[in-house]
Structure 1
Amino acid sequence: MPPRRADAAPDGEDVSCETLLRTSAPLLAAYFARRVGHGQADLDDLVQEALIAVYLHRAHYDRTRPFRGWLFGIARHKMVDYFRSRRAHLQLSLIDDTCAVDGFEAQASARMDIERLLRALPHKQARVIRDTQIDGLTSSEAASRRGIGESDVRVSVHRGVKAMRRSIGIT
């Protein structure tokens, strides 16, 4: 049975809703950790409040718009409520980071897209692409790490990147 899509949750399907919330939790945690920087209990509370809001307002999500923008909009409102309730003030240097949802959203979205593409590749190709293209290792270093030949690393990277490009429609 294929996995259910997270965007099916607004229809009220329990499994899809659970998937949506589980997928959103780490994104929200990273968003709040970067901006709030207080204790873990505060971060957990913020994530829970945002997840509750996502659950309660999921019927209002417009499927023609990017989901992450909607999610981070809820997160931003929860963070503002958090600061208001504590009468806390943001440092001026943090205001740009707090308001700059687009940069964080794009980075998180890209990371999730790349991980999805890598999961579709054979394990060996995905590992050497991570080693060389994400972790920044040379072909020689990746070959040593994986116990394979340097040419094998280069061929695997080439084939893996080619497969990833094909899967997103770039030839």
Structure 2
Amino acid sequence: MATAREWEVQGLNGQGENELAMLLRAAIAGDEKAYAAFLERTATMVRSFARRKIVQGGVDPEDIVQETLLAIHMKRHTWISDGPVLPWVYAIARFKLIDAFRRRGRRVEIEIGDIAETFAQPEAETVSDREISRVLDGLAPGQRSVVAAISVEGRSIGETAEKFGMTETAVRVALHRGLQSIAKKFGRS
């Protein structure tokens, strides 16, 4: 919910609150011009609120504005006319924002560069070329080629399939069997 400080930043101190409440009272009484003015000012407030709260994207602030205004229109009879209007408006906007994030799902997308420095650097585990050769020599020739291409050279499944004239499924099977064979030899089956 918005704080008094947020309302002041938006120029909605006590005077703005009173003016907005007066407009809504007049709108409920049937004054269309007051209702238009109320909705216009409320849209500006909610737009600012939504833009501040939507940091990661994925939700359009204008959707929040429209959904909030629609909810206000549908529920305007629930507002207590002698109570403050801003907490009521911001509560509706907050719930519409939460609903939008729920519809989007729990997935949050961020750029990896923004958080890269927070990841611990992997410890360097060195394995000699001789040890790699010894492990690979214990594999069947087809498995050896596939495991070396993917695990040592860093090729993708598709690249490896193309290199050896195999299907991607055959490459996956050979890789799985090769890694399974290595795991058995080292007691990790």
TM (norm. structure 1) is 0.46
Greater gyration radius:
2
Give the structure with the higher percent helix: 1
